[in-house]
Amino acid sequence: MKQYTVAVLGATGAVGQEMIKILQERNFPVGRLVPLASARSAGKTIPFRGGEVAVAEACDAAFEGVDIVLGAAENDIAERFAPAIVKAGAVFVDNSSAFRLNPDVPLIVPEVNPEDVKKHRGILSNPNCSTIIAVTAVNALNSIAPIRTMTVSTYQAVSGAGVAGPRELTEQVEALRNGETVVPKVFSYQIAYNLIPQIGGEQFEGYTSEEMKMQNEGRKIMHLPELKVSCTCVRVPVVRSHSISVSCHFDVPVTAEQARQAIAGAPGCRLVDDLKNKRYPMPLETSDQDIVFVGRIRPDLTDDNGICLWCCGDQVRKGAATNAVQIAELLVKEGGRTMSEDIPCCDEGFIFSKKPNEEEKVESSAQRVISLLKTVSELYPEEEVCYLISKAARLGGYPKLDTRYCTDDAVAEGLRKMIARKEIRSR
């Protein structure tokens, strides 16, 4: 079997360490491991397959010769290094939220939409941890009848906030036991013996950024563009494994027995649903493993077309690290191909059959810009032209890959820069 050079960006953090552990557990074909972190962590060693591998400082040159990069860093780090990763010819499987809603970046849960991996252009996104657990649990129901709406409440463990989360919970419990004052650092309030009904900042109509992820990411993963989700995210004093209450609503009735049968055979799920014998998913049983446990399946008494359920999953593993490694496994399964062979990457430049008419006015409508570019060349399908516009928007002053809110002026300015740099060039 072909061996791959795999880099882990953010290798010393909780998710990065878990990724390295899971690469070993799943016997991923790693020929060479490249752990990357900040300059502060450079020189440390990480155990891997019976030996020790030195951590290197993350920099553009570190990705040369790498096949796959597993990202376990924050948004700013992911955005900082994504261009260098793609330019080096590697595929970036990113755990941050930086690219999740970018229409050019597939958002993957392997049990749900593995086919979307083939659409990558050098970057693949790992969804939010709660989203992964929830869609893994409900996707089988979506195969019975399309899900119209979902009402969701998440009960998220402190380790979802990183290694400092469990430490703060433990320290607070100890301090309170000794009659000492608790000073919150990681969380906004005392987390010991408490619940905090906010994760993330306010984003839309009183919903937090974490809550909106369930709808926005769920739509993309399950290919349900009209899906509506009302979500409440709560931080709870549990060390590991998120728990989620879900009510799914359909256009037709779905019985509890239909739901049980579908979930019992669903990939990545384990049915644990025996109320009489007190058997249901709990965080203690779902920690440090990769299956989403699903139970408490029952009809929604407020909607004849609704089903309620409860699910639990390890958010560090299946909700982050394992899901990323599974995505990498899909890449390997695609015949060992990493970079998409038929779609140019963002820094590769685009070749047109003739020079663009620079005297032609760029219309104010982004759709007319697409039309203009399509008249320049018929060699590329519309989605590739859209990708060119995505790059032009960034060069024109819109810094993110998500161009839904960019201005047409930014696109036009970016196009001018690309022409000047000969990144759009004639054959």
| Residue 344, pLDDT above cutoff 80 | no
| Residue 390, pLDDT above cutoff 50 | yes
Summarize the confidence of residues 178-203 as an average pLDDT. Answer: 97
Q: What is the DSSP letter of 277?
A: G
Question: How many angstroms separate the CA atoms of 274 and 178, rounded?
Answer: 40
Q: Is residue 218 within 8 Å of 227, Cβ to Cβ?
A: yes
| Residue 20, pLDDT above cutoff 50 | yes
Q: Spot the catalytic one: 120, 129, 231, 346.
A: 129
Stronger pLDDT, 267 or 415, i.e. the higher one:
267
Give the pLDDT confidence score for residue 365 in this predicted structure.
42
Question: How many angstroms separate the CA atoms of 22 and 11, rounded?
Answer: 13
- Give me the percent of the chain exceeding a pLDDT of 90: 77
In DSSP terms, which residues pair with 351 in a beta bridge? Answer: 425
In DSSP terms, which residues pair with 8 in a beta bridge? Answer: 35, 70
Give the pLDDT confidence score for residue 345 in this predicted structure.
40
Residue 421 — very low, low, confident or very high, per pLDDT cuts 50/70/90? low
Summarize the confidence of residues 210-214 as an average pLDDT. Answer: 97
| Residue 93, pLDDT above cutoff 70 | yes
Question: How many angstroms separate the CA atoms of 71 and 125, rounded?
Answer: 9
Q: Spot the catalytic one: 233, 242, 312, 406.
A: 242
According to CATH, the topology of domain 132-314 is Dihydrodipicolinate Reductase; domain 2 (3.30.360)
DSSP output for 32-97: EEEEEE-TTTTT-EEEETTEEEE-EE--GGGGTT-SEEEE-S-HHHHHHHHHHHHHTT-EEEE-SS
Query: CA geometry: angle at 197 spanning 242 and 293, to 5°?
Result: 15
Summarize the confidence of residues 175-195 as an average pLDDT. Answer: 97
pTM for the full model? Answer: 0.80
In DSSP terms, which residues pair with 269 in a beta bridge? Answer: 292
231 is catalytic: no
| Residue 159, pLDDT above cutoff 60 | yes
Q: Is residue 426 within 8 Å of 355, Cβ to Cβ?
A: yes
Residue 1 — very low, low, confident or very high, per pLDDT cuts 50/70/90? confident
Helical ranges in 35-180 per DSSP H: 75-87, 129-144, 164-177
Give the pLDDT confidence score for residue 128 in this predicted structure.
97
Question: How many angstroms separate the CA atoms of 331 and 340, rounded?
Answer: 10
Give the residue extent of every domain in the chain.
Answer: 4-98+321-333, 132-314, 350-426
| Residue 405, pLDDT above cutoff 50 | no
- Give me the percent of the chain exceeding a pLDDT of 70: 78
Give the pLDDT confidence score for residue 60 in this predicted structure.
97
Summarize the confidence of residues 114-142 as an average pLDDT. Answer: 97
Give the pLDDT confidence score for residue 334 in this predicted structure.
80
Give the pLDDT confidence score for residue 181 in this predicted structure.
95
Question: How many angstroms separate the CA atoms of 34 and 399, rounded?
Answer: 28
Give the pLDDT confidence score for residue 342 in this predicted structure.
42
Which amino acid is located at 196 in the chain? I
Give the pLDDT confidence score for residue 269 in this predicted structure.
98
242 is catalytic: yes
Question: How many angstroms separate the CA atoms of 301 and 311, rounded?
Answer: 19
Stronger pLDDT, 340 or 290, i.e. the higher one:
290
| Residue 366, pLDDT above cutoff 90 | no
- Residue 420, judged by CB atoms within 10 A of its CB (0-12, 13-18, 19+), counts as exposed
Q: Is residue 57 within 8 Å of 81, Cβ to Cβ?
A: no
- The owner of tokens 């972190």 is 37
CB hemisphere CA count around 33 (13 angstroms): 26
| Residue 364, pLDDT above cutoff 90 | no
Architecture of domain 4-98+321-333: 3-Layer(aba) Sandwich (3.40)
Give the pLDDT confidence score for residue 114 in this predicted structure.
97
Closest C-alpha among 126, 83, 125, 120 to residue 383: 120
- The owner of tokens 């990708």 is 387
Helical ranges in 349-407 per DSSP H: 366-376, 382-395
Closest C-alpha among 156, 247, 150, 242 to residue 199: 156
| Residue 299, pLDDT above cutoff 70 | yes
Grouping H, G, I as helix, E, B as strand and the rest as coil, residue 211 is helix
What Rg value do the Cα atoms of the chain yield, rounded?
Answer: 23
Other beta carbons less than 10 A from residue 341's beta carbon: 8
